[in-house]
Structure 1
């Protein structure tokens, strides 16, 4: 961590650059001048490009302009404002997301950046925190509900697709941002994006970023009663490089990513778990994840009606690298993943997508301080193949989508999942009714660890979801949309603290809804969102709350969010982001067992951020205050795993400066 003098110099330098630049804002002008109708016509692609409200799924789209106006630092801060999504913690203070009352950390939510999966492939976990800076993002597509038909066995709950800023920039941007509290600097990000034409045929895009900063400066109190200061002992350091080359037919990309985080918490009780109990940490250990991935894709227009796209992804990962004095271990993986799909236009009203996909991956465990216990110190190979299709037809009465996927995996055998969607769009009104099934294919290390402790998994998780969406444009300024859902997961794979591994735990079902009201009028823009989930039924003890039959441990039943923007002039905007989270239950105190005890209900939290952004020619700058009310933000563990709530960041000054070249 930088010392206090370097922190002060950084803050003064950032403020000096910011105050020294007037402003002009192409991005802000573009966002705040978009009408509601133009926003509703933004298109995304499933089989073919269609406006969001015509797509056969519950989809949210967040554009770069909206992100810039909000002042959000990274992907996790953006997702916190999305209805249905909240933040939880796993071991060691690692942060990820929940969705509709389910913890999505391990292989349940798929994150794609420029079509390359970001989940680590040893356990399938999705690690967020101070990662994936907002400055690199051009667009986020959030596909709610099961996505296994099109995306496979890690898209059980939701798919998050990110497109980074590309060749359309015709230049680039260098930006620096930091959150400054009374005693520390948090989330200081350094981001560069560039893109343009290499020649008449080829275009390039490059993104790079590095970041550093404690995710908290507060004290952590373990359920056992032990506690420790996390200030200067909770550093997060992501590093990312993304290079893309493309023309009308080819798309090539190389992506390097390393995520490193200090861990003083251990499994939750401020110690390292072993057969002899807990050994307290005196200094933080280091937990890191490293990935190098390449993707090659070719778009072949094979005639007027047929488009074929083969792609190949190779990834080399080192996951869950744990470094502690005298000890070092990690899981190593290489994967080849091939996919070819084709879209055939049957008529002006119908089309069909069909594809085949296969991957082969090799795993091994590496350890410095004990003989590897998995795969007898050698390698383990897993193969998977699938065929999938999705047929779309527009009729005078209703638009119909029917799809399915058959997949065989060496670890869990074969499965078939279907989906069907009925969509209808009138002038101001649209409605959708969808039924989806999905599966979670547990990763090789998950299966191997469960077998090693004598608790083999029953197979893949199975998910069944029904969704109904209704949207109505009240006038040229106001739009109201909502969806209701019911979802059931069978053979739920959950962490068992007594077995110290994930096990097939039982079944769980939830229901609820997500609602959004949008305004685009003159100088004003507003997005008001509300989400509700209720536990319908569960026989999984590690998730349950005896005091509330509708609650899941660690996840709020209610969330309200507001993004309110005001265009001060053609060059500046002022934005308010408010997130109100209902009380939820968490493991707070259990001095005897260290696991959980009787869950306690946390207070309701209100997180307010005010951000001012201004641009001039090549410069932009912003200044704001995050957590304006200095609320005690706490991220709870959504299962009985031994961790108490992790304290979040308090009130802090937000500063960012950027230069466009």
Structure 2
């Protein structure tokens, strides 16, 4: 089927789905005459909720960032299997392949996995200390989530050198809202393979003086169930038979473990977490293991001043990898971080406040097992200090946010980034005008194998504009435009094989993207719909060669220019809901094969539409909720390409997956 026919078919499906969801709405003239200040609707409750990724007390429509908030209700109704399913419904986000079938995050048309998106779970940063990357997939306990808050834009001024393009803050029910016990489980089944088997338990008890929470999550899964996978690029580069005619359901894995404990007594809070994730391609096993501890005290010095001193300790073994046949690693590093911070919030008046702080942290890496060709230090320590401040001034015309961060490292020097935002909600209308500089701090491995021993921080200039209008208490339209220009990109390079293999990091001159994002939300008592459209385009004069494809200069490898999502939910009864979702992505380009000289060449990947449906039944028995659903109903199986020319062909997509979920909750009596 040619591109035009496929595009017509996908467009017709989307238009039909959207028109069906829109039928009960009123015509535009009627909507414009309605007042959006009646009793708070379900949509308004979400929009008016202060979010923790915002440093100031502002609702999502006025906070100085482009936000997406995903609630526990939306996750449960959609039957999301993992974070990939959630992120695919968020404007601008996509998930790509890194190395060894490790899945990473792309944002607004650019590869963002190495330190450009900060990912936190209950306040603990999941970016690894070696590369600042985050492996996603069947990793996070998605059924334990209370809320996911996402900044689709820079967060470096507050969050530092791991938040250049965005922030994802995952908050669990146990840590946030649970006062009882929940047991949950998920099974996913393909025609000839088990896609996943995950289970967890949460318990928590809350009071004004003392609170505790404890949760455990364990699972097993696969990356793909393709039966006859052959990677011509790997075969050409390495001559490895492991990448020829493989059943990926037997040779790939995605197995998570997470144990999470939180304690809080008056102003003192403590959290400890252990996380382990193992994944693999046909030849190599990769594991990520982390231990987090976090102690903080919230001191209300006066009615106007609050100080929060904090100490964190992180110990990781990230990116431990080696051949499957002997389970002995070729590469293993123990990385630790000791982190101290004092955060302050001063409310000068009802209309003026400031958030400020100072940070000192030390990263240390012990390279316990490395390849014979490794040229870096076997032990490396980085020392960092930072200062930040962000002031909010509220005025009847606009809220002005002015901030900065300065961070200095003993190896790469300093980085200064300012931030300026004007936001306001005026009756039903809101606007945001945002400018930020953001940076990506070099991490242990970036510095240890830097070409010539020198590497600079990345620096981005980001402009954003959002306009939104709430037609009724149940209906909101928001449109934003963005421009991202990044210089001094830290890019990985390698050459040679076996004994002649060399690898390094170096700075490349320029990359970035620009585009628009559209969000239309309507929430009625018995149904809701969320329609999004994302467009992104590569900037001119991109200097990162591994991001380019021969077919076009307007797209980077692996990313579609256009993405449309539609997430709908209908209450069939007071306890039974059905949740159809649709995700459309336009043509992508990926390195899929090699030429006669053995060089990787790019080809076009057809547009796809993912059609999913989930049926959710609440309180089958008191406290018991169950659901069944189908993912990729049309069996499109979109491939997952590598987000750069890095030696891997796309991973074949999963086939149609049947999902079963159960959860049982007991609430403690007051």
Normalising by the residue count of structure 2, what TM-score does the alignment of the two structures yield? 0.87
- CA distance in 2 between counterparts of 1:649 and 1:115 reads 32
- After superposition, residues 135-284 of structure 1 pair within 5 angstroms as 135-166=143-174, 168-197=177-206, 201-218=209-226, 219-224=228-233, 227-229=244-246, 230-264=248-282, 284=283
- Pair 1:594–1:461, CA change in 2 (3 A): farther
1:345 counterpart = 2:347: yes
Superposition deviation, residue 474 in structure 1: 1.3
- CA distance in 2 between counterparts of 1:472 and 1:228 reads 53
Given that 1:223 and 1:642 are in contact with CA atoms closer than 8 Å, whether structure 2 keeps it comes out as no
1:398 counterpart = 2:406: no
Q: 1:104-150, CA deviations, whole angstroms, 9 ceiling, x for partnerless residues? A: 11111110111110111111111101110211111111012111110
Q: 1:251-306, CA deviations, whole angstroms, 9 ceiling, x for partnerless residues? A: 11000001111222xxxxxxxxxxxxxxxxxxx43210110110011111001100
- After superposition, residues 76-95 of structure 1 pair within 5 angstroms as 76-95=84-103
Counterpart among 579, 584, 599 of residue 583 in structure 2 = 579
Superposition deviation, residue 201 in structure 1: 2.3
- After superposition, residues 443-454 of structure 1 pair within 5 angstroms as 443-451=443-451, 454=452
Counterpart in 2 of 1:646? 651
- Pair 1:321–1:42, CA change in 2 (3 A): same
Superposition deviation, residue 592 in structure 1: 4.6
Counterpart in 1 of 2:629? 624
Q: 1:66-119, CA deviations, whole angstroms, 9 ceiling, x for partnerless residues? A: 111000022221011100001110111110110011111111111011111011
Normalising by the residue count of structure 1, what TM-score does the alignment of the two structures yield? 0.88
Given that 2:332 and 2:370 are in contact with CA atoms closer than 8 Å, whether structure 1 keeps it comes out as no
Counterpart in 1 of 2:573? 569
Q: 1:337-383, CA deviations, whole angstroms, 9 ceiling, x for partnerless residues? A: 111111101111010111001101211111277596532x4x21110
Structure 2, unmatched stretches of 5+, are 1-39, 236-242, 496-501
Counterpart in 2 of 1:608? 611
Matched length: 603
- CA distance in 1 between counterparts of 2:612 and 2:646 reads 32
- CA distance in 2 between counterparts of 1:369 and 1:458 reads 22
Q: 1:429-461, CA deviations, whole angstroms, 9 ceiling, x for partnerless residues? A: 00010000011112111221234xx5x454000
Counterpart in 1 of 2:299? 300
- CA distance in 1 between counterparts of 2:503 and 2:423 reads 45
Counterpart in 1 of 2:369? 367
Structure 1, unmatched stretches of 5+, are 1-32, 265-283
- CA distance in 1 between counterparts of 2:444 and 2:466 reads 37
Given that 1:220 and 1:647 are in contact with CA atoms closer than 8 Å, whether structure 2 keeps it comes out as yes
1:122 counterpart = 2:130: yes
- CA distance in 2 between counterparts of 1:506 and 1:222 reads 31
Counterpart in 2 of 1:311? 310
- Pair 1:368–1:478, CA change in 2 (3 A): closer
Counterpart among 26, 38, 44 of residue 37 in structure 1 = 44
Given that 1:73 and 1:133 are in contact with CA atoms closer than 8 Å, whether structure 2 keeps it comes out as no
Superposition deviation, residue 600 in structure 1: 0.7
Q: What RMSD over aligned residues (CA atoms) do the two structures have, in Å?
A: 1.7
